Amino acid sequence: LTAFGTDLLALPPHRRARWGLRRSFQTAQVVDDLTVEANVRVVLDPLPLPAAEKAAEIARALAFVGLADLARARGEGLNGFERRMVEIAKAVVGGPKVVLLDEPGAGLDASEVARLREAILAIPEAFGAMVMLIDHDVDLIAATCVSTLVLDFGQLLAYGPTAEVLKDPKVKAAYLGVEDVA
């Protein structure tokens, strides 16, 4: 995986973080015994930032995801949507270049996915980061992705502008379970 001229696979995880690679997990990785603020602070540990800058970054990320009022709440008291937004805060903190989101809408209801979609769409402008999304939610993909790559059992089916890819008969047959009738 090469991004902006850097072979990210050749770097150990802490160097990837320093470079600006962030990711979320399909299942929210929130430590129940830590506060929301501390859960986000952990991402900044490998970054050489002064304490005041780290505090400002955390405050900015929590405000972005709407969790500033829950900064001192422990992870164990968060609902599923709040846990997901902690994941997003962890992904945008500390100057990311690339944010990888693994099925961020999993387990969320329609109104929560709508709020998540707004956050995903705002990441590039708010943080200057490229967002890569892995998801099965076609509506979320259609609403957030400029380009889409579809794999079927590891084989490339289609790549290009999202609207075109989602209309591709091979994609419809393999991914959406729909076959065009001629």
Q: CA–CA distance from 161 to each of 9, 140, 158 (Å)?
A: 26, 15, 10
**Amino acid code (one letter) for 121:** L
Q: What is the pLDDT of residue 111?
A: 95
Average pLDDT over residues 9-17: 84
Average pLDDT over residues 63-76: 98
Question: Which residues contact residue 69 at a Cβ distance below 8 angstroms, ignoring those fewer than 6 apart?
Answer: none
Q: What is the pLDDT of residue 179?
A: 66
Tens of pLDDT, residue by residue over 146-163, are 999 998 888 999 999 999
Average pLDDT over residues 100-129: 95
**Mean pLDDT, rounded, of the chain:** 91
pTM (predicted TM-score): 0.88
Q: Is residue 61's pLDDT more than 90?
A: yes
Q: What whole-number distance in Å separates Cα of residue 100 and Cα of residue 123?
A: 11
Q: What whole-number distance in Å separates Cα of residue 133 and Cα of residue 100?
A: 6
Q: What is the pLDDT of residue 180?
A: 60
Q: Is residue 3's pLDDT more than 80?
A: no
Q: What is the pLDDT of residue 182?
A: 52
Q: Is residue 144's pLDDT more than 60?
A: yes
Average pLDDT over residues 134-151: 91
Q: What is the pLDDT of residue 35?
A: 98
